[in-house]
């Protein structure tokens, strides 16, 4: 009777391993992207420039760094990742309600993966948050301070991208 129980356990264990195999296969390093594009059209419509221009300038390079292991520009059957940025919210420059007067900055958008034949196998929403600690020097240099905050948001967005895509 105990052999019958071990055989059943072994069969259930093998079945569970096979059931989880497709999920593990999706996250294998065989995923290849042939390109990365950044679409700031919705952001530009919402807040305009220079914010949209700063995101458009910073995000492509940061995404290439974050996804470098999966990027092969010459691979014709690879997918194209489009990072569509919908909004950016900068908390108060004078300080917020967080510890040490920190403000919360947020960037949000959608990661769209276009397959090799133009199909859209995945659309993944992504929101990244950073904390801003106001400093006295930021007040006279408000434009530079806001630029730095936007770049920090773009970096957070890029760093979350591989995880949200399951890579």
On the question of pLDDT at 123 being above 80, the answer is yes
Global model pTM greater than 0.85: no
Q: For 47-73, what is each residue's pLDDT tens digit? A: 998 999 999 999 999 999 999 888 888
| Token digits of residue 54 | 């700063």
Structure tokens at 86: 């919908």
- The answer to whether residues 40 and 86 touch, using CB atoms and an 8 Å cutoff, is no
Longest distance between any two alpha carbons in the chain, whole Å: 81
Question: Is residue 125 predicted with pLDDT exceeding 50?
Answer: yes
Domains of the chain are 32-164 (3.30.160)
């Amino acid at each position: 009777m105990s052999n019958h129980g071990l055989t059943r356990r072994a069969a259930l264990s093998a079945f569970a391993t096979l059931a989880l195999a497709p999920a593990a296969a999706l996250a294998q390093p065989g995923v290849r992207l042939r390109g990365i594009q950044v679409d700031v059209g919705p952001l530009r419509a919402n807040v305009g420039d220079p914010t949209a221009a700063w995101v458009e300038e910073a995000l492509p390079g940061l995404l290439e760094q974050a996804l470098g292991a999966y990027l092969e520009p010459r691979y014709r059957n690879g997918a194209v990742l489009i990072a569509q940025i919908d909004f950016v919210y900068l908390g108060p420059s004078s300080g917020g309600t967080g510890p040490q007067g920190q403000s919360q900055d947020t960037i949000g958008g959608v990661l769209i993966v276009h397959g090799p034949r133009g199909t859209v196998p995945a659309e993944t929403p992504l929101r990244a948050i950073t904390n801003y600690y106001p400093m006295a020097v930021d007040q006279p240099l408000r434009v530079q301070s806001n630029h730095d905050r936007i770049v920090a948001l773009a970096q957070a967005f890029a760093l979350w991208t591989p995880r949200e895509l399951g890579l």
